[in-house]
Structure 1
Amino acid sequence: MKTTKRYLLITSGVLFSILATAFTFLLPPEMKFEELKHNFGFIRQGEIVSHEFTFTNNGDEPLLITNAEVQCVCTTVDFPKQPVMKGQKAVVKITFDTKSAIDRQERTVTLTSNAKNSPTVLTFKAVVLKKKE
């Protein structure tokens, strides 16, 4: 009986050590974007333009975007609300409404997540030409 208890205790300890070691090798989520900047070029005032920024979760754990902060109400952001799993690609879509913009514009979107490289800043720019009368 004493030997059985000792065997179970040793086996449990070894299994716990193996599991604990395995979990220490998991890489935290990492957002790897294909691009961090986009140039819309020349557009007319009043146009609404969009761009999709594609990223991959290069970590082992699920990646969750918790917030997207924009500089002005002219910009909206659509991002995944569900976790992005290891190796999975996803898209952050930025929409820019130029109705109140004119001339050179540069805006940023700051994404907060559980990724090791959070926050991530996406940038877009455009030259907004006056609307034709």
Structure 2
Amino acid sequence: MFYAEKVSKFTTELNIYIMKNLITILFVGLISFAANAQEKVAKIEFKETTIDYGVIEKGADGVRVFEFTNTGDAPLIITDVKSSCGCTVPKKPEGPIAPGKTGEISVKYDTNRVNPIRKTITVLSNAETPTVALKIKGEVIDPSKTSVLEKKSTSVMNQ
């Protein structure tokens, strides 16, 4: 009986020792996993997300630039930029943008189309927010084509 009690006591102490070590190993593993889970991430921050062309004349320069900064801690890669119509041609940066650095997305609108401008450019990237919608707005007018009211107003003022 004396031997059985010693074995039982030893087994109990061994189980406690194993449990303590197992809990310690699991705790250290959990902390390591949590530290590795905080991966570096790219973040894109635009100076402005809407550009207003205002009222411009037919054939005027239709190029505008959206400036952005990578405010994350990983390189930012712009994978694609798409426009809502063929009259707007966006151009993305070719290489990655390092953390803290700036980049540009240029947009060329076809100003030979006389009408209001309301277009969306979609930017896709590896950023924390992978999709960003940029907008352009304004109006293209043809100065050679004036309305009857404008002609009448001008002729009355010249008298």
- Identify whether the pair has TM-score above 0.5, normalized to the shorter chain: yes
The structure, 1 or 2, with the larger RCO (C-alpha pairs under 8 Å, 6+ apart) is: 1
The interval holding the TM-score normalised by the smaller chain is 0.7 to 0.9
TM-score by length of 2: 0.65
Corresponding residue for 2:140? 128
Q: Deviations over 1:68-111 (max 9, x none)?
A: 11112211112111111111111111111121x22321111001
**Distance in 1 between residues matched to 2:82 and 2:91, nearest whole Å:** 11
Residue-pair matches, total: 116
Q: Identity, % of aligned pairs?
A: 28
* Root-mean-square deviation over aligned CA pairs: 2.1
Larger relative helix fraction? 2
Shift of 1:19: 10
Shift of 1:130: 2.1
Corresponding residue for 1:8? none
Corresponding residue for 1:93? 106
Structure exhibiting the larger radius of gyration computed from Cα positions: 2
TM-score by length of 1: 0.77
Corresponding residue for 2:115? 103
1:46–1:131: 8 Å Cα contact kept in structure 2? no
Give structure 1 stretches of 5+ with no counterpart.
1-13
**Distance in 2 between residues matched to 1:104 and 1:73, nearest whole Å:** 15
Q: Secondary structure at the match of 1:59?
A: coil
Corresponding residue for 1:37? 50
Q: Deviations over 1:19-54 (max 9, x none)?
A: 983x54344111100100010111112333111111
Q: Secondary structure at the match of 2:107?
A: strand
Larger relative strand fraction? 1
Residue 61 of structure 2, aligned match among 35, 42, 48: 48
**Distance in 1 between residues matched to 2:116 and 2:90, nearest whole Å:** 21
**Distance in 2 between residues matched to 1:19 and 1:62, nearest whole Å:** 23
